[in-house]
């Protein structure tokens, strides 16, 4: 038991206050139509706000229809999307969560089938916005994989257009009521591609040296920061290391620059630059396997970090915070498995008012059951009833 868990302590980020350190990170659900949200997105995200998560992120939302990973990605490339997004922010605020959105562009990794349909490149597919031709763009004319389409190398005009697209999407996010914006610079997508010494083979001011390869990222960050109110936090998701030449040293250097440019939190993930998963050959995949990235970036750059990656247990999450390895905890797939992970964690950590972490229409009844002596029998604590001795006999 932890008398005063950091996991359940609030944190202020600029003018935004999170009720705890638990974050639902952006996780793609590929459920949009022509970029528009629908009832699925509202229902999907609302349950995490009801469940007590501090910061709930909308999945990667594209700033340009060409940047969609699949035909079912969300979009924020035009003002028509704003009203739909307000449905999400309204319900998240109603239940006490801070509303975040991740803005991204898939670059050369765009135009694929859904993951559960094989994640295969689509050679012939109408564009997401209105059936327009779907062009693949990237820093250089180098395909992501042997079976992927070769992108068109972006011109300087393309680069400036994309910078502006990120800024406009950030403006729309503010209008839609989001409290936090995250720039997606990880997982082999467009910003990460510019950072990569292998995906980016440019010979102009956007390629070559680390400083040049960081130039596009910095311009995007500057444009997004300008579009946000001064009291609105800005996150940046990074692949702290990848399979193809990007190192943790590089990420520390980038984080130092991002901090100077007004980024408040670095969300520390890894991999995605090649079809080969980094965890299969470079990083052993175990509980909290990416936490060391958040720890080192935090320590050496002085920026706040969010740890993600197989953080599944309450005591594990609390230990990361107690040991000052990160400032926020991203709980992704485990929240998909158990949307009331926050309550479960509060009970397990011995938080005095654990059942106040959910609405009273839940908490009142769950507390009564706990007071009747059944707290140790929760399904999240046990494999099952198993033996008759596990249950109090109830008679005939």
Return the number of other C-beta atoms located less than 10 Å from residue 259's C-beta.
Answer: 17
To 5 degrees, how large is the angle CA 385–CA 389–CA 395? 95
Cα distances from 392 to residues 188, 372, 389, in angstroms, run 54, 12, 7
Distance CA 323, CA 321 (A): 5
Chain centroid to Cα 216, Å, comes to 21
Return the number of other C-beta atoms located less than 10 Å from residue 380's C-beta.
Answer: 14
Beta bridge partners of 82: none
Cα distances from 138 to residues 219, 230, 298, in angstroms, run 16, 31, 30
Q: Beta strands 98-104 and 180-185: pairing type?
A: parallel
Contact 182, 263 (CB under 8 A): no
CA nearest to 103, candidates 171, 158, 159, 54? 171
- Out of 30, 189, 206, 355, which one is annotated catalytic? 189
Three-state SS at 55: strand
Structural tokens at position 184: 């997606």
Distance CA 230, CA 70 (A): 33
Return the number of other C-beta atoms located less than 10 Å from residue 97's C-beta.
Answer: 28
Q: Is 236 a catalytic residue?
A: no
CA nearest to 20, candidates 330, 394, 390? 330
Distance CA 286, CA 70 (A): 29
Distance CA 108, CA 142 (A): 8
List active site positions. 189
């Amino acid at each position: 038991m932890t008398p005063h868990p950091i996991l359940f302590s609030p944190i202020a980020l600029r003018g935004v206050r999170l009720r705890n350190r638990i974050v639902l990170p952006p996780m793609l659900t590929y459920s949009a139509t022509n970029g528009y949200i629908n009832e699925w997105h509202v229902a999907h995200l609302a349950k995490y706000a009801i469940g007590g998560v501090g910061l709930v992120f909308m999945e990667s939302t594209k700033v340009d229809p060409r940047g969609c990973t699949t035909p079912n990605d969300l979009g924020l490339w035009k003002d028509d999307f704003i009203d739909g997004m307000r449905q999400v922010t309204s319900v998240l605020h109603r239940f006490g969560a801070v509303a975040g959105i991740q803005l991204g562009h898939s670059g050369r990794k765009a135009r694929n089938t859904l993951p559960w349909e094989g994640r295969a490149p689509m050679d012939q597919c109408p564009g997401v916005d209105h059936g327009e031709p779907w062009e693949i763009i990237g820093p250089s004319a180098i395909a992501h994989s042997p079976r992927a389409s070769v992108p068109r190398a972006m011109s300087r005009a393309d680069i400036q257009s994309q910078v502006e697209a990120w800024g406009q999407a950030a403006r729309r996010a503010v209008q839609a009521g989001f409290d936090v914006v995250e720039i997606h610079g990880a997982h082999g997508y467009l910003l990460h591609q510019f950072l990569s010494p292998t995906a980016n083979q440019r010979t102009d001011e956007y390629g070559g040296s680390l400083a040049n390869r960081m130039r596009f990222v910095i311009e995007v960050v500057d444009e997004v920061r300008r579009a946000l109110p001064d009291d609105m936090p800005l996150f940046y998701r990074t692949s702290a290391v990848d399979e193809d030449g990007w190192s943790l040293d590089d990420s520390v250097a980038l984080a130092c620059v991002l901090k100077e440019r007004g980024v408040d939190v670095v969300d520390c993930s890894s991999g995605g630059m090649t079809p080969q998963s980094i965890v299969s050959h470079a990083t052993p995949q175990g509980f909290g396997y990416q936490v060391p990235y958040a720890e080192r970036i935090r320590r050496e750059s002085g920026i706040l970090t969010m740890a993600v990656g197989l953080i599944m247990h309450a005591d594990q999450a609390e230990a990361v915070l107690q040991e000052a390895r990160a400032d926020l905890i991203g709980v992704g797939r485990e929240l998909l498995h158990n949307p009331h992970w926050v309550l479960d964690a509060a009970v397990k950590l011995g938080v005095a008012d654990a059942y106040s972490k959910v609405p009273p229409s839940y908490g009142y009844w769950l507390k009564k059951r706990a007071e009747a002596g059944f707290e140790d029998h929760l399904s999240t604590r046990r494999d099952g009833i198993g033996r008759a001795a596990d249950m109090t006999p109830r008679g005939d």
